[in-house]
């Protein structure tokens, strides 16, 4: 009997090893869902996108090659927006080498996605479409298969793993899956499958610095599926909008962490419900405010008019809010961003007399743009040093009061000194974050 069990274990071990030794069956099943895309563009532009461009400079137009995949059996195709950007004609070649001229159903620059539609002459013909998986459930180390049209050679497949999740690669606010599976030029718009044959990403970018082979990025399937549905239904993407900008922060009264509101639109429902700049959102829909990208994605993908429940702290007191999501306006609210920092850095490098030394804080400052004051020099014993504040940071508020000039900062310091040198609270913007810092003023600095 013992020998029998040993043989059973041995046989199952061999079967499992054989199952992992080839992906031929799953590749054969999935290959018909992937297409090649070629476009003819009217104008030659430099550094237009991430994807490969095959260019004949003797011609007035050019041909760009990319990838895509069927998301429905009646001919809807998902690809990257930059693959078809500026195209006067978009052609699709299916796995059986059939050529179709497609119609652009809709595009979305924010997610870099586009939906195409092809219509076969035979109305009874259907296409092999993919099934979307849940990218949120994928794990670092999971095996993935990437399909695409590298260098215009035709559909091919590569195998690798998910190397990282929630990567921000500078393409807006989107978070990406990172993989070591080959995503070469021309693969943009192709699908990334898990080993269950579900799409968990859309191949979108490659890291092209010399020596960076094996670093590719895919937009997670959850966002891709939502955008595709919006484009098919509306021809555009209707994003939800709360009318506020947030970053990670800590309430100085309770030391509770959450999302600090750094900007709020007075026409938004959030403002009308009572939320204000400086409030700390600690929960949304009963979920702790921890992952900022999750919060942004949730609000953007909510239906217009749908309600979101918020818990927020204002001056140490907790309040509950129910806010109806609005449609994001074309010119969405711009918070204090790195652009403002760069403008202020440029301004600080100019010559002029608008430089001030604040002895209480041991810093030399200049007024920033569009608001705040920028630190251009810091004393060795400045009380700001052990608070993570460095030269180049911008102080936006003092004790919940906006700073638009040096006088605003000095008035706040004077008020704290008169009040027995009580600590002051500063809202600070650095290159990656907005945070509160509590600073103790020393009498000898007066």
pTM of the predicted structure, to 2 decimals: 0.65
**Under 8 Å CB-to-CB from 10, ≥6 apart: which residues?**
none
At residue 91, the pLDDT reads 92
- The CATH number given to 131-234 is 2.40.10.10
**Domain spans, the chain:** 27-117, 131-234, 240-327, 338-445
What string of DSSP letters covers 353-399?
A: S--EEETTTTEEEEE-SSSSEEEEEE-TT-TTGGGT--TT-EEEEET
Which CATH entry fits the domain spanning 240-327: 3.20.20.140, 3.40.50.360, 2.30.42.10, 3.30.342.10?
2.30.42.10
The yes-or-no verdict on residue 185 having pLDDT over 60 is yes
Average pLDDT over residues 66-80: 94
By annotation, the residues acting in catalysis are 82, 112, 188
- Of residues 216 and 30, more confidence is placed in 30
Architecture of the domain defined by 27-117: Beta Barrel (2.40)
CA dihedral 172, 331, 325, 238 (to 10 degrees): -70
Which CATH entry fits the domain spanning 338-445: 3.40.50.300, 1.10.10.60, 2.30.42.60, 3.30.750.200?
2.30.42.60
Share of the chain above pLDDT 90, in %: 39
Name the most confidently modeled range: 94-98, 255-259, 284-288: 284-288
Per CATH, 27-117 and 131-234 having the same topology is answered yes
At residue 444, the pLDDT reads 52
Determine which of 96-105, 165-174, 291-300, 418-427 has the lowest per-residue pLDDT on average. 165-174
List C-alpha distances in Å: 314 to 4, 279, 400. Answer: 70, 5, 10
407 contacts 367 by C-beta, under 8 angstroms: no
List C-alpha distances in Å: 226 to 72, 111, 134, 326. Answer: 14, 11, 12, 17
How large is the angle between the packed helices 221-234 and 292-301, nearest 10 degrees?
20
Residue 312 structure tokens: 């927020």
**Cα–Cα distance between 321 and 299 in angstroms, integer?**
15
- Of residues 210 and 175, more confidence is placed in 175
At residue 20, the pLDDT reads 61
At 64, the pLDDT band (50, 70, 90 cuts) reads low
Average pLDDT over residues 266-282: 93
Per DSSP, the three-state class of 35 is strand
Determine which of 5-19, 48-62, 150-164, 234-248 has the lowest per-residue pLDDT on average. 48-62
At residue 446, the pLDDT reads 37
Strands 156-167 and 240-241: unpaired
Q: Which residues are registered as beta bridge partners of 179? A: 162, 216
């Amino acid at each position: 009997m013992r020998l029998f069990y040993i043989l059973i274990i041995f046989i199952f071990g061999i079967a499992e090893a054989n199952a992992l030794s080839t992906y031929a069956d799953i590749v054969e099943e999935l290959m018909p869902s992937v297409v090649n895309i070629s476009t003819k563009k009217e104008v030659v532009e430099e550094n237009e996108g991430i994807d490969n461009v095959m260019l004949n400079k003797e011609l007035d137009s050019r041909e760009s090659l990319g990838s895509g995949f069927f998301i429905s059996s009646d001919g809807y195709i998902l690809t990257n927006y930059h693959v078809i950007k500026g195209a006067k004609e978009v052609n699709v070649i299916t796995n059986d080498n059939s050529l179709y001229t497609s119609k652009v159903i809709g595009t979305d620059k924010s997610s870099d996605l586009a939906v195409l539609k092809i219509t076969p002459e035979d109305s009874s013909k259907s296409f092999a479409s993919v099934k979307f998986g849940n990218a949120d459930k994928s794990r670092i180390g999971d095996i993935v298969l990437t399909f695409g049209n590298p260098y215009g050679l035709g559909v091919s497949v590569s195998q690798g793993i998910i190397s990282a999740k929630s990567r921000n690669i500078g393409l807006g606010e989107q978070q990406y899956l990172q993989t070591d599976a080959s995503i070469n030029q021309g693969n943009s718009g192709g699908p990334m499958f898990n080993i269950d044959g579900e799409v968990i990403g859309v191949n979108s970018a490659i890291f092209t610095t010399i020596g960076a082979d094996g670093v590719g990025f895919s937009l997670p399937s959850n966002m891709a599926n939502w955008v595709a549905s919006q484009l098919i239904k509306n021809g555009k993407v209707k994003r939800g909008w709360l009318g506020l900008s947030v970053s990670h922060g800590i309430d100085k009264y309770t030391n509770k962490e959450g999302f600090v509101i750094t900007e709020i639109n007075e026409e938004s429902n959030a403002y009308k419900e009572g939320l204000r700049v400086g409030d700390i959102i600690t929960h949304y829909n009963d979920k702790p405010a921890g992952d900022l990208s999750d919060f942004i994605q949730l609000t953007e993908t909510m239906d217009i008019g749908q309600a979101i429940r918020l818990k927020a702290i204002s001056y140490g007191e907790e309040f509950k809010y129910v806010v109806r999501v609005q449609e994001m306006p074309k010119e969405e609210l711009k918070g204090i961003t790195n652009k403002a920092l760069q403008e202020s850095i440029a301004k600080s490098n100019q010559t002029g007399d608008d430089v001030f030394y604040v002895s209480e804080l041991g810093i030399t400052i200049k007024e920033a743009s569009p608001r705040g004051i920028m630190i251009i020099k810091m004393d060795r014993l400045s009380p700001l040093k052990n608070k993570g504040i460095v030269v180049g940071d911008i102080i936006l508020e003092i004790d919940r009061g906006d700073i638009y000039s040096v006088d605003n900062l000095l008035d706040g310091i004077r008020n704290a000194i008169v009040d027995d040198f009580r600590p002051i609270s500063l809202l600070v913007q650095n290159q990656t974050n907005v945070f509160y810092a509590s600073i103790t003023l020393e009498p000898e600095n007066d």
